Amino acid sequence: MTRPSPTFRLLAGLATTLLAVGVYSGYTVLQLRSLKKLQTETIDRNRTDTLLLLRIQNGLNSLAITMRDMLDEQQPYPLTAWAPQFRRIRSDLEDALARESKFSLADLSSNQRRYLADSFRQFWDALDRIYAIANEGEARTQIRLSLQAREAALSTAVSRLLVQNNESERTAAIRTEELYRGVERNVYIFLAAMLIVILLTGLYLVNFNRNLFDRVEALSTQRGDLAQQLISLQESIFRSISRDLHDDFGQILTAIGVMLQRSARSSPDVLEVREIVQGALEKVRALSHALHPVVLDEAGLDGALDAYLPGFERQTGVAVDYRKEGQERGLSHETATHLYRVTQEALNNVAKHSGAKRASVRLRFAPHAVTLEIEDDGKGIRDHGKQGLGLVSMRERAEMMKGKIDITSGESGGTLVRVTVPTVTTAAEPVNA
Protein backbone atom coordinates (compact mmCIF):
# COMPACT_ATOMS: atom_id res chain seq x y z
CA MET A 1 0.00 0.00 0.00
CA THR A 2 1.47 3.33 -1.08
CA ARG A 3 1.44 5.97 1.61
CA PRO A 4 0.20 9.45 0.66
CA SER A 5 2.79 12.11 0.00
CA PRO A 6 3.26 14.67 2.80
CA THR A 7 3.19 17.51 0.26
CA PHE A 8 -0.53 18.25 0.70
CA ARG A 9 -0.30 18.22 4.48
CA LEU A 10 2.79 20.43 4.46
CA LEU A 11 1.12 22.89 2.06
CA ALA A 12 -2.00 22.93 4.25
CA GLY A 13 0.15 23.57 7.32
CA LEU A 14 2.02 26.33 5.48
CA ALA A 15 -1.26 27.97 4.40
CA THR A 16 -2.58 27.79 7.97
CA THR A 17 0.64 29.29 9.30
CA LEU A 18 0.57 32.10 6.75
CA LEU A 19 -3.08 32.80 7.58
CA ALA A 20 -2.26 32.93 11.29
CA VAL A 21 0.66 35.27 10.60
CA GLY A 22 -1.59 37.50 8.49
CA VAL A 23 -4.32 37.66 11.15
CA TYR A 24 -1.80 38.35 13.89
CA SER A 25 -0.05 41.01 11.82
CA GLY A 26 -3.35 42.75 11.02
CA TYR A 27 -4.44 42.70 14.65
CA THR A 28 -1.05 44.02 15.79
CA VAL A 29 -1.16 46.81 13.20
CA LEU A 30 -4.60 47.83 14.46
CA GLN A 31 -3.34 47.90 18.04
CA LEU A 32 -0.30 49.96 17.06
CA ARG A 33 -2.48 52.40 15.12
CA SER A 34 -4.77 52.72 18.13
CA LEU A 35 -1.73 53.37 20.31
CA LYS A 36 -0.41 55.97 17.89
CA LYS A 37 -3.79 57.67 17.75
CA LEU A 38 -3.96 57.67 21.54
CA GLN A 39 -0.55 59.28 21.81
CA THR A 40 -1.03 61.91 19.11
CA GLU A 41 -4.71 62.78 19.61
CA THR A 42 -4.97 62.41 23.37
CA ILE A 43 -1.70 62.51 25.25
CA ASP A 44 0.21 65.05 23.16
CA ARG A 45 -2.88 67.21 22.64
CA ASN A 46 -3.73 67.04 26.33
CA ARG A 47 -0.23 68.18 27.29
CA THR A 48 -0.39 71.15 24.92
CA ASP A 49 -3.81 72.08 26.30
CA THR A 50 -2.42 71.87 29.85
CA LEU A 51 0.42 74.22 28.97
CA LEU A 52 -2.07 76.71 27.53
CA LEU A 53 -4.26 76.44 30.64
CA LEU A 54 -1.20 77.12 32.78
CA ARG A 55 -0.53 80.18 30.60
CA ILE A 56 -4.13 81.34 31.21
CA GLN A 57 -3.76 80.69 34.92
CA ASN A 58 -0.54 82.71 34.96
CA GLY A 59 -2.39 85.57 33.21
CA LEU A 60 -5.12 85.42 35.85
CA ASN A 61 -2.47 85.58 38.57
CA SER A 62 -1.09 88.67 36.87
CA LEU A 63 -4.60 90.18 36.93
CA ALA A 64 -4.89 89.41 40.63
CA ILE A 65 -1.53 91.06 41.38
CA THR A 66 -2.46 94.11 39.29
CA MET A 67 -5.80 94.52 41.07
CA ARG A 68 -4.05 94.20 44.45
CA ASP A 69 -1.69 97.00 43.47
CA MET A 70 -4.63 99.14 42.31
CA LEU A 71 -6.32 98.71 45.71
CA ASP A 72 -3.15 99.67 47.60
CA GLU A 73 -3.89 103.15 48.94
CA GLN A 74 -0.20 103.87 49.35
CA GLN A 75 0.22 103.84 45.56
CA PRO A 76 0.48 107.48 44.31
CA TYR A 77 -0.84 106.52 40.84
CA PRO A 78 -4.39 106.91 39.57
CA LEU A 79 -6.36 103.85 38.35
CA THR A 80 -5.79 104.78 34.73
CA ALA A 81 -2.06 104.13 35.19
CA TRP A 82 -2.76 100.37 35.12
CA ALA A 83 -4.76 100.48 31.90
CA PRO A 84 -1.78 99.56 29.58
CA GLN A 85 -0.91 96.59 31.81
CA PHE A 86 -4.54 95.39 31.68
CA ARG A 87 -4.52 95.66 27.89
CA ARG A 88 -1.33 93.60 27.65
CA ILE A 89 -2.70 90.90 29.98
CA ARG A 90 -6.01 90.88 28.11
CA SER A 91 -4.28 90.45 24.75
CA ASP A 92 -2.19 87.58 26.10
CA LEU A 93 -5.21 85.86 27.69
CA GLU A 94 -7.33 86.16 24.54
CA ASP A 95 -4.51 84.63 22.47
CA ALA A 96 -4.11 81.80 24.98
CA LEU A 97 -7.87 81.16 25.03
CA ALA A 98 -8.03 81.03 21.23
CA ARG A 99 -5.17 78.52 21.09
CA GLU A 100 -6.55 76.47 23.97
CA SER A 101 -9.91 76.03 22.24
CA LYS A 102 -8.12 74.23 19.36
CA PHE A 103 -6.30 71.74 21.61
CA SER A 104 -8.95 71.19 24.25
CA LEU A 105 -10.26 67.65 24.60
CA ALA A 106 -13.38 66.82 22.63
CA ASP A 107 -15.14 65.32 25.64
CA LEU A 108 -15.23 68.65 27.51
CA SER A 109 -18.83 69.84 27.81
CA SER A 110 -19.93 72.88 25.86
CA ASN A 111 -21.25 74.39 29.11
CA GLN A 112 -17.73 74.50 30.55
CA ARG A 113 -16.37 76.09 27.41
CA ARG A 114 -19.26 78.59 27.26
CA TYR A 115 -18.95 79.38 30.96
CA LEU A 116 -15.24 80.14 30.60
CA ALA A 117 -15.78 82.41 27.60
CA ASP A 118 -18.72 84.23 29.23
CA SER A 119 -16.78 84.70 32.46
CA PHE A 120 -13.86 86.36 30.65
CA ARG A 121 -16.22 88.58 28.66
CA GLN A 122 -18.02 89.64 31.81
CA PHE A 123 -14.68 90.31 33.50
CA TRP A 124 -13.54 92.65 30.72
CA ASP A 125 -16.95 94.35 30.60
CA ALA A 126 -16.80 94.93 34.34
CA LEU A 127 -13.27 96.30 33.99
CA ASP A 128 -14.41 98.73 31.29
CA ARG A 129 -17.29 99.92 33.48
CA ILE A 130 -14.93 100.47 36.39
CA TYR A 131 -12.71 102.66 34.23
CA ALA A 132 -15.80 104.63 33.24
CA ILE A 133 -16.54 105.55 36.87
CA ALA A 134 -15.15 109.03 37.65
CA ASN A 135 -14.89 108.50 41.41
CA GLU A 136 -11.80 106.40 42.13
CA GLY A 137 -13.07 105.44 45.56
CA GLU A 138 -16.20 103.95 44.10
CA ALA A 139 -14.10 102.28 41.36
CA ARG A 140 -11.86 100.66 43.97
CA THR A 141 -14.94 99.42 45.79
CA GLN A 142 -16.23 97.79 42.56
CA ILE A 143 -12.84 96.19 42.02
CA ARG A 144 -12.88 94.78 45.51
CA LEU A 145 -16.47 93.57 45.37
CA SER A 146 -16.89 92.49 41.73
CA LEU A 147 -13.70 92.28 39.78
CA GLN A 148 -11.67 90.23 42.26
CA ALA A 149 -14.58 87.80 42.69
CA ARG A 150 -14.78 87.30 38.94
CA GLU A 151 -11.03 86.71 38.75
CA ALA A 152 -11.28 84.11 41.54
CA ALA A 153 -14.11 82.35 39.69
CA LEU A 154 -12.04 82.29 36.51
CA SER A 155 -9.05 80.83 38.39
CA THR A 156 -11.30 78.14 39.86
CA ALA A 157 -12.68 77.23 36.40
CA VAL A 158 -9.19 77.02 34.94
CA SER A 159 -8.08 74.86 37.87
CA ARG A 160 -10.96 72.49 37.20
CA LEU A 161 -9.88 72.19 33.57
CA LEU A 162 -6.32 71.41 34.69
CA VAL A 163 -7.62 68.71 37.00
CA GLN A 164 -9.65 67.22 34.16
CA ASN A 165 -6.60 67.24 31.91
CA ASN A 166 -4.58 65.45 34.58
CA GLU A 167 -7.30 62.82 34.87
CA SER A 168 -7.41 62.42 31.10
CA GLU A 169 -3.65 62.05 30.94
CA ARG A 170 -3.70 59.44 33.70
CA THR A 171 -6.45 57.51 31.88
CA ALA A 172 -4.52 57.71 28.62
CA ALA A 173 -1.38 56.45 30.38
CA ILE A 174 -3.33 53.47 31.74
CA ARG A 175 -4.76 52.78 28.29
CA THR A 176 -1.29 53.02 26.74
CA GLU A 177 0.09 50.56 29.26
CA GLU A 178 -2.79 48.15 28.51
CA LEU A 179 -2.08 48.38 24.79
CA TYR A 180 1.61 47.73 25.34
CA ARG A 181 0.82 44.74 27.52
CA GLY A 182 -1.64 43.46 24.91
CA VAL A 183 0.95 43.73 22.13
CA GLU A 184 3.58 42.05 24.30
CA ARG A 185 1.17 39.26 25.22
CA ASN A 186 0.26 38.73 21.57
CA VAL A 187 3.95 38.53 20.65
CA TYR A 188 4.50 35.83 23.26
CA ILE A 189 1.41 33.93 22.14
CA PHE A 190 2.49 34.19 18.51
CA LEU A 191 6.02 32.98 19.29
CA ALA A 192 4.66 30.09 21.32
CA ALA A 193 2.26 29.16 18.51
CA MET A 194 5.07 29.32 15.94
CA LEU A 195 7.29 27.15 18.12
CA ILE A 196 4.49 24.62 18.47
CA VAL A 197 3.89 24.64 14.70
CA ILE A 198 7.61 24.22 14.00
CA LEU A 199 7.84 21.44 16.59
CA LEU A 200 4.83 19.58 15.17
CA THR A 201 6.10 20.01 11.60
CA GLY A 202 9.56 18.81 12.61
CA LEU A 203 8.14 15.79 14.44
CA TYR A 204 5.96 14.97 11.44
CA LEU A 205 8.89 15.21 9.03
CA VAL A 206 11.14 13.19 11.35
CA ASN A 207 8.50 10.48 11.64
CA PHE A 208 7.84 10.48 7.90
CA ASN A 209 11.55 10.34 7.06
CA ARG A 210 12.10 7.59 9.63
CA ASN A 211 9.31 5.52 8.07
CA LEU A 212 10.71 6.29 4.62
CA PHE A 213 14.21 5.22 5.63
CA ASP A 214 12.79 2.08 7.25
CA ARG A 215 11.03 1.23 3.99
CA VAL A 216 14.18 1.93 1.98
CA GLU A 217 16.19 -0.22 4.36
CA ALA A 218 13.63 -2.99 4.12
CA LEU A 219 13.67 -2.76 0.31
CA SER A 220 17.47 -2.74 0.34
CA THR A 221 17.49 -5.82 2.55
CA GLN A 222 14.99 -7.52 0.26
CA ARG A 223 17.06 -6.56 -2.76
CA GLY A 224 20.20 -7.92 -1.12
CA ASP A 225 18.44 -11.15 -0.18
CA LEU A 226 17.06 -11.47 -3.70
CA ALA A 227 20.52 -10.82 -5.20
CA GLN A 228 22.06 -13.44 -2.92
CA GLN A 229 19.35 -15.91 -3.85
CA LEU A 230 19.89 -15.20 -7.54
CA ILE A 231 23.67 -15.63 -7.19
CA SER A 232 23.18 -18.85 -5.20
CA LEU A 233 20.72 -20.09 -7.82
CA GLN A 234 23.15 -19.12 -10.56
CA GLU A 235 25.97 -21.07 -8.90
CA SER A 236 23.69 -24.05 -8.42
CA ILE A 237 22.63 -23.99 -12.07
CA PHE A 238 26.22 -23.52 -13.22
CA ARG A 239 27.33 -26.43 -11.03
CA SER A 240 24.55 -28.63 -12.39
CA ILE A 241 25.27 -27.73 -16.03
CA SER A 242 29.00 -28.11 -15.48
CA ARG A 243 28.47 -31.56 -13.98
CA ASP A 244 26.22 -32.60 -16.86
CA LEU A 245 28.70 -31.33 -19.42
CA HIS A 246 31.61 -33.00 -17.71
CA ASP A 247 29.96 -36.27 -16.80
CA ASP A 248 27.52 -36.85 -19.63
CA PHE A 249 28.68 -34.99 -22.72
CA GLY A 250 32.32 -35.39 -21.78
CA GLN A 251 31.99 -39.13 -21.37
CA ILE A 252 29.97 -39.41 -24.57
CA LEU A 253 32.55 -37.48 -26.55
CA THR A 254 35.34 -39.48 -24.91
CA ALA A 255 33.66 -42.75 -25.89
CA ILE A 256 33.14 -41.49 -29.44
CA GLY A 257 36.80 -40.52 -29.60
CA VAL A 258 37.91 -44.00 -28.47
CA MET A 259 35.71 -45.67 -31.06
CA LEU A 260 36.97 -43.35 -33.79
CA GLN A 261 40.54 -44.11 -32.75
CA ARG A 262 39.86 -47.81 -33.26
CA SER A 263 38.22 -47.16 -36.60
CA ALA A 264 41.03 -44.90 -37.78
CA ARG A 265 43.25 -47.98 -38.36
CA SER A 266 40.99 -49.24 -41.11
CA SER A 267 39.82 -45.90 -42.55
CA PRO A 268 42.12 -42.82 -42.68
CA ASP A 269 39.11 -40.44 -43.12
CA VAL A 270 37.94 -41.23 -39.62
CA LEU A 271 41.04 -39.54 -38.23
CA GLU A 272 39.76 -36.12 -39.24
CA VAL A 273 36.41 -36.80 -37.58
CA ARG A 274 38.26 -37.91 -34.47
CA GLU A 275 40.13 -34.61 -34.36
CA ILE A 276 36.83 -32.70 -34.62
CA VAL A 277 35.37 -34.72 -31.76
CA GLN A 278 38.52 -34.11 -29.72
CA GLY A 279 38.17 -30.34 -30.27
CA ALA A 280 34.52 -30.49 -29.23
CA LEU A 281 35.54 -32.42 -26.11
CA GLU A 282 38.08 -29.75 -25.19
CA LYS A 283 35.50 -27.01 -25.67
CA VAL A 284 32.99 -28.86 -23.52
CA ARG A 285 35.59 -29.30 -20.81
CA ALA A 286 36.54 -25.60 -21.05
CA LEU A 287 32.88 -24.59 -20.82
CA SER A 288 32.37 -26.92 -17.88
CA HIS A 289 35.41 -25.47 -16.18
CA ALA A 290 34.16 -21.93 -16.83
CA LEU A 291 30.74 -22.70 -15.39
CA HIS A 292 32.08 -24.41 -12.29
CA PRO A 293 35.71 -25.49 -12.07
CA VAL A 294 35.95 -28.93 -10.51
CA VAL A 295 39.43 -28.06 -9.38
CA LEU A 296 37.91 -25.45 -7.04
CA ASP A 297 36.30 -28.26 -5.07
CA GLU A 298 39.45 -30.38 -5.13
CA ALA A 299 42.39 -27.92 -4.87
CA GLY A 300 40.79 -24.79 -3.43
CA LEU A 301 40.98 -21.19 -4.62
CA ASP A 302 44.72 -21.20 -5.27
CA GLY A 303 44.56 -24.30 -7.45
CA ALA A 304 41.52 -22.98 -9.33
CA LEU A 305 43.31 -19.74 -10.17
CA ASP A 306 46.42 -21.66 -11.30
CA ALA A 307 44.22 -23.59 -13.71
CA TYR A 308 42.11 -20.61 -14.89
CA LEU A 309 44.71 -17.90 -15.51
CA PRO A 310 46.76 -19.68 -18.26
CA GLY A 311 43.58 -20.28 -20.24
CA PHE A 312 42.60 -16.62 -19.84
CA GLU A 313 46.02 -15.57 -21.20
CA ARG A 314 45.63 -17.81 -24.25
CA GLN A 315 42.11 -16.58 -25.03
CA THR A 316 42.64 -12.82 -24.51
CA GLY A 317 46.36 -12.22 -25.05
CA VAL A 318 46.58 -10.35 -21.71
CA ALA A 319 49.63 -11.43 -19.71
CA VAL A 320 48.69 -12.19 -16.09
CA ASP A 321 51.16 -12.17 -13.21
CA TYR A 322 49.80 -14.29 -10.34
CA ARG A 323 51.26 -14.05 -6.84
CA LYS A 324 50.16 -15.65 -3.60
CA GLU A 325 51.22 -14.84 -0.07
CA GLY A 326 50.45 -16.94 3.01
CA GLN A 327 48.82 -20.31 3.47
CA GLU A 328 45.20 -20.89 2.50
CA ARG A 329 43.16 -21.78 5.57
CA GLY A 330 39.86 -20.86 7.19
CA LEU A 331 38.33 -20.26 3.74
CA SER A 332 34.88 -21.76 3.20
CA HIS A 333 33.83 -23.24 -0.12
CA GLU A 334 31.27 -20.45 -0.65
CA THR A 335 33.88 -17.75 -0.01
CA ALA A 336 36.36 -19.44 -2.37
CA THR A 337 33.66 -19.62 -5.05
CA HIS A 338 32.77 -15.93 -4.67
CA LEU A 339 36.43 -14.85 -4.82
CA TYR A 340 36.92 -16.98 -7.94
CA ARG A 341 33.88 -15.34 -9.59
CA VAL A 342 35.14 -11.88 -8.63
CA THR A 343 38.45 -12.72 -10.31
CA GLN A 344 36.61 -13.85 -13.44
CA GLU A 345 34.45 -10.68 -13.56
CA ALA A 346 37.43 -8.38 -12.97
CA LEU A 347 39.59 -10.05 -15.63
CA ASN A 348 36.68 -10.05 -18.11
CA ASN A 349 36.41 -6.27 -17.58
CA VAL A 350 40.16 -5.98 -18.14
CA ALA A 351 39.90 -7.87 -21.43
CA LYS A 352 36.79 -6.04 -22.68
CA HIS A 353 37.14 -2.44 -21.50
CA SER A 354 40.58 -1.51 -20.22
CA GLY A 355 42.75 -2.06 -23.30
CA ALA A 356 45.45 -3.40 -20.98
CA LYS A 357 48.33 -5.64 -22.07
CA ARG A 358 49.26 -6.84 -18.63
CA ALA A 359 47.40 -7.62 -15.42
CA SER A 360 48.34 -8.91 -12.01
CA VAL A 361 46.40 -11.06 -9.56
CA ARG A 362 47.55 -10.99 -5.94
CA LEU A 363 46.13 -13.28 -3.27
CA ARG A 364 47.20 -12.67 0.33
CA PHE A 365 46.16 -14.86 3.25
CA ALA A 366 46.36 -13.20 6.67
CA PRO A 367 45.44 -14.77 10.04
CA HIS A 368 41.96 -13.28 10.04
CA ALA A 369 41.33 -12.15 6.45
CA VAL A 370 42.09 -12.84 2.83
CA THR A 371 42.73 -10.09 0.29
CA LEU A 372 42.32 -10.44 -3.46
CA GLU A 373 43.68 -7.73 -5.79
CA ILE A 374 43.30 -7.53 -9.58
CA GLU A 375 45.20 -4.66 -11.19
CA ASP A 376 45.79 -3.76 -14.85
CA ASP A 377 47.82 -1.20 -16.78
CA GLY A 378 44.94 -0.05 -18.95
CA LYS A 379 43.18 3.28 -19.34
CA GLY A 380 41.74 3.30 -15.83
CA ILE A 381 38.31 3.97 -14.42
CA ARG A 382 35.75 5.64 -16.66
CA ASP A 383 32.74 6.75 -14.62
CA HIS A 384 29.70 7.19 -16.87
CA GLY A 385 27.15 7.48 -14.04
CA LYS A 386 26.07 3.82 -14.00
CA GLN A 387 27.56 0.43 -13.17
CA GLY A 388 27.53 -2.67 -15.28
CA LEU A 389 26.21 -6.01 -14.12
CA GLY A 390 29.75 -7.22 -13.54
CA LEU A 391 30.49 -4.51 -10.96
CA VAL A 392 27.10 -5.02 -9.32
CA SER A 393 27.76 -8.75 -9.11
CA MET A 394 31.18 -8.19 -7.52
CA ARG A 395 29.72 -5.84 -4.90
CA GLU A 396 26.91 -8.26 -4.09
CA ARG A 397 29.35 -11.11 -3.71
CA ALA A 398 31.55 -9.03 -1.41
CA GLU A 399 28.49 -8.24 0.72
CA MET A 400 27.55 -11.92 0.84
CA MET A 401 31.05 -12.69 2.16
CA LYS A 402 30.63 -9.91 4.79
CA GLY A 403 33.66 -8.23 3.26
CA LYS A 404 34.33 -5.04 1.38
CA ILE A 405 35.35 -4.16 -2.15
CA ASP A 406 37.25 -1.10 -3.36
CA ILE A 407 37.58 -0.13 -7.02
CA THR A 408 40.23 2.57 -7.41
CA SER A 409 43.03 3.69 -9.69
CA GLY A 410 46.18 1.60 -9.57
CA GLU A 411 49.79 2.78 -9.40
CA SER A 412 50.24 2.33 -13.16
CA GLY A 413 47.15 4.38 -13.95
CA GLY A 414 44.90 1.40 -14.57
CA THR A 415 42.15 -0.04 -12.40
CA LEU A 416 42.67 -1.77 -9.06
CA VAL A 417 40.00 -4.05 -7.63
CA ARG A 418 40.62 -5.00 -4.00
CA VAL A 419 38.39 -7.42 -2.08
CA THR A 420 38.95 -8.13 1.61
CA VAL A 421 36.91 -10.77 3.42
CA PRO A 422 37.23 -12.30 6.89
CA THR A 423 38.25 -15.93 7.34
CA VAL A 424 37.17 -18.47 9.95
CA THR A 425 39.87 -19.77 12.31
CA THR A 426 39.18 -23.10 13.98
CA ALA A 427 40.56 -24.42 17.23
CA ALA A 428 42.75 -26.88 15.33
CA GLU A 429 44.40 -23.98 13.52
CA PRO A 430 45.88 -21.63 16.11
CA VAL A 431 46.72 -18.20 14.89
CA ASN A 432 50.27 -16.99 15.46
CA ALA A 433 50.45 -13.33 16.26
Confidence of residue 411 (pLDDT cuts 50, 70, 90): confident
Instruction: Give the type of residue at 184.
Output: E
Return the amino acid letter for 431. V
- DSSP assignment of 114-152, as one string? HHHHHHHHHHHHHHHHHHH-S-HHHHHHHIIIIIHHHHH
Least confident of 66-70, 80-84, 121-125, 179-183: 179-183
- At residue 373, the pLDDT reads 92
Residue 422 exposed, middle or buried by CB count within 10 Å (0-12, 13-18, 19+): middle
3-state secondary structure of 427: coil
Of 312, 263, 311, 257, nearest to 280 (Cα)? 257
Higher pLDDT, 230 or 158: 158
Q: How far is CA 37 from CA 33, 34, 322, in A?
A: 6, 5, 94
Cβ-contact 261, 281 below 8 angstroms: no
What pLDDT score does 270 carry? 64
pLDDT (0 to 100) of residue 289:
63
pLDDT above 70: residue 312 = yes
How far is residue 159's CA from residue 171's CA, in Å, rounded to a whole number? 18
Question: Which pLDDT score, from 0 to 100, does residue 410 have?
Answer: 80
**How would residue 419 be classed by pLDDT, with cut points 50, 70 and 90?**
very high
Give the per-residue pLDDT at 112. Answer: 73
- The gap from C-alpha 376 to its chain's centroid, in whole angstroms, comes to 46
Average pLDDT over residues 37-49: 73
Mean pLDDT value across residues 216-240 = 73
What's the CATH code, domain 294-422?
3.30.565.10
For the residues 268-272, what does the mean pLDDT come to?
63
Q: Which of residues 296 and 94 earns the better pLDDT score?
A: 94
Provide the pLDDT confidence category of residue 362 given band limits of 50, 70 and 90: very high
Give residue 420's pLDDT band: very low, low, confident or very high (50, 70, 90). very high
Q: Give the ranges where 72-109 is alpha helix by DSSP (H).
A: 83-103
* Mean pLDDT, residues 173-193: 81
| pLDDT score, position 263 | 66
Residue 426 has pLDDT above 50, yes or no: no
State the pLDDT at residue 427: 38
Mean pLDDT of the chain: 78
Q: Would you place residue 433 in the very low, low, confident or very high pLDDT band (cuts 50, 70, 90)?
A: very low
What's the pLDDT at 202?
82
| pLDDT value of position 288 | 66
Residue 385: the pLDDT is 47
Q: Where are the domains of the chain?
A: 7-206, 294-422
DSSP 371-386: EEEEEE-SS-----SS
Q: What is the pLDDT of residue 371?
A: 92
> Residue 340 burial by CB count (10 A; 0-12/13-18/19+): exposed, middle or buried?
buried
> For a pLDDT cut of 70, what percent of the chain falls above it?
78
Burial label for 17, CB within 10 Å (0-12, 13-18, 19+), is middle
Task: Identify the pLDDT of residue 161.
Answer: 84
Decide if pLDDT at 355 tops 50: yes
Cα 138 to Cα 144: distance, rounded to the nearest angstrom = 10
- At 154, give phi and psi (nearest 5°): -65, -40
Is 0.75 surpassed by the pTM of this model?
no
In sequence order, which ranges of 39-75 are alpha helices (DSSP H)?
A: 44-71
